[in-house]
Amino acid sequence: MAETSKADGGRLTTHVLDTATGKPAAGLSIALYRLDGSARTHLKTVATNADGRCDAPLLAGREFGIGEYELVFAAGDYLRGQGTELPKPAFLDSVPIRFGMAEPVHYHVPLLISPYGYSTYRGS
């Protein structure tokens, strides 16, 4: 089971930028999961605001726990909603990013997307 930390300093945030348009990806759905070995537990689903960010941290304070997580970005739904014609099946539809949080600090996991590529990094 994932070790938890009750430290108030731990938090998880994200944001999404559409590199094809050079704009924030507004209205993109993101699902957050906690990983525990082969178990995958859904914690919440949120959508990005007009700035491509979530209105609140995905995890913070007592919700934050040290362990492994996965963010699944609904990139295909977002791109189709922007009027982008995607092949069937789309090259990128759901974009999963698995990562670990080892200490109760700020983890920022952004996503840069386009119809045929994406990148991520540990931001600040």
Does 42 carry a binding-site annotation? no
Tell me which CATH code domain 28-120 carries.
2.60.40.180
- In the chain, where the domains are located: 28-120
Chain centroid to CA 74: 9
pTM of structure? 0.91
Does 121 carry a binding-site annotation? yes
Structure confidence by residue, pLDDT tens digits, 3-49 = 444 446 799 999 999 999 999 999 999 999 999 999 999 999 999 99
Does 106 carry a binding-site annotation? no
